[in-house]
Amino acid sequence: MSERPFRVLGVQQIAVGGADKAALRAFWVDLLGFAAEGSYRSERENVDEDITSVGRGLARVEVDLMQPIDPARSPRVHEPALNHVGLWIDDLPAAVAWLTAQGVRFTPGGIRRGASGFDVCFVHPRGNAESPRGAEGVLVELVQAPAAVIAAFDALASSA
């Protein structure tokens, strides 16, 4: 295996799905105190989501509360309830190229602008005949980290 040309810097987001995002909000926002920041809706992605967060600045982690627009249609963003985990990546194009060469399967759509304004792509939960490596049952979102996150990671790494 060739040397990895990218780094995973940390968790950017966790996406949680449910049949009713009001129930999700009641737990994450009302009970736990997460900050409600906005919403995102996409017919193509079959999702109506509220964007919430915990932490501040570079320690902020987004928690997306997702409800399907049509529960009978794919993607079924509420099944499983832990929909996906998003990871900060320092060089997303290099990561996608290298992982593809390693046989990793990505979901359709390639690198694109995500709901939070960062470039993203998704590793498929399962491999197939053409790309046999998946994320072992978990949908993983790779998120291009902004320069400030990369600099903070480098500063922490150099002080350890």
Task: State the average pLDDT for the chain.
Answer: 94
The C-alpha atoms of residue 23 and residue 131 are separated, in whole angstroms, by 37
Sign of torsion over alpha carbons 60, 14, 98, 114: negative
Q: How many angstroms separate the Cα of 80 from the Cα of each of 61, 66, 67, 97? A: 20, 11, 12, 28
Dihedral (C-alpha) 78, 74, 46, 68: value to the nearest 10 degrees? -30
Asked if the structure places residue 97 within a domain, the reply is yes
* pLDDT confidence of residue 1: 64
The C-alpha atoms of residue 104 and residue 126 are separated, in whole angstroms, by 9
* pLDDT confidence of residue 160: 67
Long-range pairs of 117-120 with CB within 8 A, sequence gap ≥ 24:
118/12, 118/143, 118/144, 118/145, 118/146, 119/92, 119/143, 119/144, 120/86, 120/92, 120/144
Asked if the structure places residue 3 within a domain, the reply is no
* pLDDT confidence of residue 107: 97
- pTM of this structure: 0.89
* pLDDT confidence of residue 116: 85
Provide the CATH number for the domain around residue 50: 3.10.180.10
What count of other Cβ atoms lies within 10 Å of the Cβ of residue 148?
10
Percentage of the chain beyond pLDDT 90 is: 91
Domain coverage including residue 34: 8-159
Q: Which residue positions in the chain have pLDDT lower than 70? A: 1-2, 160
**Number of domains comprising the chain:** 1
Asked if the structure places residue 90 within a domain, the reply is yes
Asked if the structure places residue 2 within a domain, the reply is no
Asked if the structure places residue 1 within a domain, the reply is no
pLDDT, one tens digit per residue, over 27-45 is: 999 999 999 999 999 999 9
